[in-house]
Amino acid sequence: MFTEKIVSRQLFYLFFMMRVTIIISVLPVLTAGQARQDAWIAALISFFPAAAIVLIIGALTLVFPGKSLIQISEELLGKLPGLLLSVIYLAIFLFMAGTDLRIYAEVLKASFLPETPISVVMSLVVFTVVLAIYGGIEVLGRSADIIFPIFLLMLLGTFSPSLTHANFQNLQPVIAHGWSPLSLAILAPASIAAQYANLTMLAPALDQPQKGLKAALWSLLAATLVLVAFALAVVLVLGPDTGARSTFPVFRMIRATRISEFLERVEILTIFAWGLGLFVALSVNLYSGSKGLSQVFGLHDNRPLVLPMAVIWVVFAIQGYQDYFEVAQVFDPAFFDVIFIPTLLFPPLVLWVAYLYKKLRERKKQEIGGRK
Amino acid sequence: MKREETCFNRRTNRITLVILLSFLTLLLCGCWDRIEPDFIGLVTMVAFDLDDERGLLKVYAQLPNPAGAGQQQSNGGGGSNQAMSATWTLEASGYTVFQAIKNMELQSTRRLLFTHVEVVLFSEKLARQGIRPVLDFFEREPQVRLIARPFVVQGDLQKLMESQFPLEQFGATALSKQLASVQEEAAATSDTDSLRVMMHRLTIPGWELDLPRLIVMPEEETKKKGEEKTAKQNPVLLTGLAVFRDDKLVGFFDARETAGCMWLKGAINRHYLVLQCPNGGERLTVEIYEMALQLVPWIDGSKVHFKASIFAEGRLQEFSCQELSLEEAFIASLNRRLATAIRNEASAALDKARELETDVFGLGNLLYRTRNKDWQCFEDKWKEIFPEVMVDLEIEATIRRHGLTLAPIKIR
């Protein structure tokens, strides 16, 4: 069987679209916390904690090139403890995919299709994703090549018309209440860097695994700039208050835009971009999840697992949240920063400790051996 | 061997493709949310009023009537007595907007869709009670967009909803065009041109809301019974501001006060002033085509002062005085007159706003934006402080051009 490979450019595209989609849809810099008109500053700063998370997770792929998190933990901790540790990540992939899927389905349901059963909306998306994953990671990488320019164009189409209504007075006063109201707004987008957990599964599929972390960090930087742009646009057009009260601020902003007397209602571009981005996000999560599970079970191929996992996902996305009030709480700092982030960082930190301990012991052994 | 394999693959691929494509037909039968176009009534204008007797919210909706519009076009505007109207107005009441709309649907043969609402009207009565109860409808319901244009109507709301416009088929198009052209050509009405701006103004500190005012014209008396109902006059006049405190209407600015308000907001697009000739009873008209405003607050103990510097540039639009001298003193005296006229307008607006105790100029908001520390002391009592706030006006007005003629005509 031939090996499937992607290149770091495609990895960059995948992560960029994944992060931008989720971060733009709910715009947590504005809706979580009290940053209000300073949301763009919070967005800018959020790069640093997010980059820290990416580094903690991603640097493992540099130390163990070509190995996935599951293989790394097996090697460092042994069969059973390693397996237990990997299950945490598999659960995270499931959780993130389910949440992404639910948010997208809720956007469609709240805005366009109030009567269509949510399971139909989800199943159609997931069906497409399953097809892509059956094609394999290479197919995913190449579709990222094709989708990325379209995605970028749609983003521009969403962003630029909003500028016709920009009112720069909305940005004042700048940091009127000190930095503390910003803290939550910084942490929320930073915690969504959890998506970069996928790096531990995607990096082994790179033709040069060492380049994975670099591409991931670049994608984070690019996505941060997009986030800053949209945080600005929403505040400039809607004002901080209307923006912060919105369920989907960017969506409301574009709906409130009248480019001219005859050109308005351009939100189809936004929804189009979300659809593409969600496809990418779900595909990557499904790939990571199924690949990880197949490695846990010692299977050669992840394909047999794809379809059953997809079904589980749809069920999770529907059953995991009773209503949208509950989905909104996912971005609640009490959950995200107290429960989710420690869970996310626990496995890589354990692995780092194990790795350093091993290194230390090896060095000691060498020293002892050297003395002998 | 190898070739056979590829053939086989190609065949299976083809079969899979056919199966997949046949799945697409499932989508053809439509989704749960399909609506046939001839079951839709597109509402383009909604109006909110109060039903006093029952204490309910009264909602009007105007729908273009495709049949009526088509008929009018084919008849060339005139024709039979039974001509269908181009629009249809519905009315219903309820405790909430949604309930009223549902009651409205009971009278309609078509499902009402609010996706294309262009104009939103508030009656004076409702506005005085507060518009907050209807606001949530615009934000939560995905159908209405914030691009719709809000107005406050002085006069008979129902009559306006049912009236016809001489140049336009539909009321909603007529009113949005009227607003766009008045905003473009004069400083006679509010610069609030969408629900988006309205929502924003309601939520920012230290800046009260103002909306364009529509005055419904009195009925023409010459109309006889059975006479064809084509409009001879525009049913509505767009002039002045409806001024709010929080979400409640507290009063109106007339055209002059509105212009003053626009000077102090720095929002003048185009405006004209009629002045007396320096030597004689005739009048001259100056059109303002450029302006700038600089507002500087300063705080003296517990008192807040503002210095408003207005720079205006105009051109001579009409000059019926006897002589146009090019002497510097003459031009300077014209400029001084212009400045005085501007000052009068601005002070009229200030006086009215003080009388109504509502900060429509956004003076408090300026403090909030630029001197946030000071604003925090005033925030809670700004509404009481505002009438005592001193605004020093400093006006610099220049007439830059005189048009295609220099001296006015001399009749001998």
| Enclosing H/E stretch for B149 | strand B149-154
Q: Which of B195, B203, B369 sits opposite A169 (nearest CB)?
A: B369
- Stretches where chain A sits below pLDDT 50 are 1
Q: What is the pLDDT of residue B79?
A: 44
Q: What is the pLDDT of residue B52?
A: 84
Query: Which residue intervals of A163-198 are DSSP H helices?
Result: 182-191
Residue B388 has pLDDT above 60, yes or no: yes
Backbone angles phi, psi at A336, to 5 degrees: -65, -45
Burial B261-288 (b: 16+ CB within 10 A, else e): bbbbbbebeebbbebebeeeeeebebbb
Axis-axis angle for helices B132-140, B195-203 (nearest 10): 120
Catalogue the E-assigned strands of B43-82. 45-51, 56-64
Q: What is the pLDDT of residue B394?
A: 92
Angle CA B109–B113–B114, to nearest 5: 140
Q: What is the pLDDT of residue B74?
A: 54
Per residue in B10-44, pLDDT tens?
788 888 888 888 877 776 655 677 777 888 889 99
How many angstroms separate the Cα of B382 from the Cα of each of A148, B197, B207, B332? 51, 22, 10, 40
Mapping DSSP to helix (H, G, I), strand (E, B) and coil, where does residue B321 land? coil
Q: What is the pLDDT of residue B279?
A: 75
Q: What is the pLDDT of residue B221?
A: 54
Q: Which two tokens stand for residue A177?
A: 């209440």
Asked if the C-beta of B113 comes within 8 angstroms of chain A's C-beta atoms, the answer is: no
Q: What is the DSSP letter of A168?
A: G
Q: What is the pLDDT of residue B344?
A: 93
The most distant pair of C-alpha atoms in chain A lies apart, rounded to whole Å, by 87
CB A61 within 8 A of CB A212: yes
pLDDT band at B77, cuts 50/70/90?
very low
Q: What is the pLDDT of residue B187?
A: 85
CB A215 within 8 A of CB A12: yes
Is the model more confident about A187 or about B252?
A: B252
Global model pTM greater than 0.80: yes
How far, in whole angstroms, is CA B2 from its chain's centroid? 74
Asked if the C-beta of A109 comes within 8 angstroms of chain B's C-beta atoms, the answer is: no
> What DSSP letter does each residue of B244-305 carry, written as one string?
EETTEEEEEE-HHHHHHHHHHHT--SSEEEEEE-TTSS-EEEEEEEEEEEEEEEEEETTEEE
Q: What is the pLDDT of residue A372?
A: 56
Q: What is the pLDDT of residue B202?
A: 92
> Distance, in angstroms, between A19 CA and closest chain B CA?
26
CB A233 within 8 A of CB A252: no
Asked if the C-beta of A252 comes within 8 angstroms of chain B's C-beta atoms, the answer is: yes
Backbone angles phi, psi at A56, to 5 degrees: -60, -45
Is the model more confident about B364 or about B68?
A: B364
Binary contact (B147, A173; C-beta < 8 A): no
Binary contact (A116, B33; C-beta < 8 A): yes
> Distance, in angstroms, between B293 CA and closest chain A CA?
14
Asked if the C-beta of A239 comes within 8 angstroms of chain B's C-beta atoms, the answer is: yes
Q: What is the pLDDT of residue B49?
A: 93
HSE of A209, CA atoms in CB hemisphere, 13 A: 19
Backbone angles phi, psi at A51, to 5 degrees: -65, -35
Asked if the C-beta of A255 comes within 8 angstroms of chain B's C-beta atoms, the answer is: yes
Beta bridge partners of B150: B120
Q: What is the pLDDT of residue B222?
A: 47
Axis-axis angle for helices A79-111, A118-135 (nearest 10): 130
pLDDT band at B342, cuts 50/70/90?
very high
Q: Which of A117, A257, A261 sits opposite B32 (nearest CB)?
A: A117
Binary contact (A239, B146; C-beta < 8 A): no
SS (H, E, C) B341-389: HHHHHHHHHHHHHHHHCCCCCCHHHHHHHHCHHHHHHHHHHHHHHHHHC
Asked if the C-beta of A173 comes within 8 angstroms of chain B's C-beta atoms, the answer is: yes
Residues of B in contact with A245 (CB under 8 A): 139
Binary contact (B203, A169; C-beta < 8 A): no
Per residue in B102-161, pLDDT tens?
999 899 888 888 888 999 999 999 999 999 989 988 888 778 888 899 999 998 888 888
Question: Where in chain B is CATH 3.30.300.210?
Answer: 255-412
Asked if the C-beta of A195 comes within 8 angstroms of chain B's C-beta atoms, the answer is: no
CB B104 within 8 A of CB B84: no
Place of tokens 């903690």: A56
Binary contact (A241, B204; C-beta < 8 A): yes
User: Pick from A175, A173, A174, A245: which is nearest to B379 by CA?
Assistant: A173
Mapping DSSP to helix (H, G, I), strand (E, B) and coil, where does residue B316 land? strand
Q: What is the pLDDT of residue B76?
A: 47
Nearest CA in chain B to A241: B203
Which CATH code for domain A8-371? Answer: 1.20.1740.10
> Distance, in angstroms, between A45 CA and closest chain B CA?
23
> What DSSP letter does each residue of A306-348 carry, written as one string?
HHHHHHHHHHHHHHS-SSHHHHHHHT-HHHIIIIIHHHHHHHH
Instruction: Tell me which architecture the domain covering B255-412 has in CATH.
Output: 2-Layer Sandwich (3.30)
Residues of A in contact with B118 (CB under 8 A): none
> Distance, in angstroms, between B341 CA and closest chain A CA?
29
Residue B248 has pLDDT above 80, yes or no: yes
Q: Which of B32, B194, B204 sits opposite A258 (nearest CB)?
A: B194
| CA atoms of A45 and A101, how far apart (whole Å) | 28
| CA atoms of B262 and B227, how far apart (whole Å) | 43
Binary contact (A113, B200; C-beta < 8 A): no
Angle CA A251–A255–A257, to nearest 5: 120
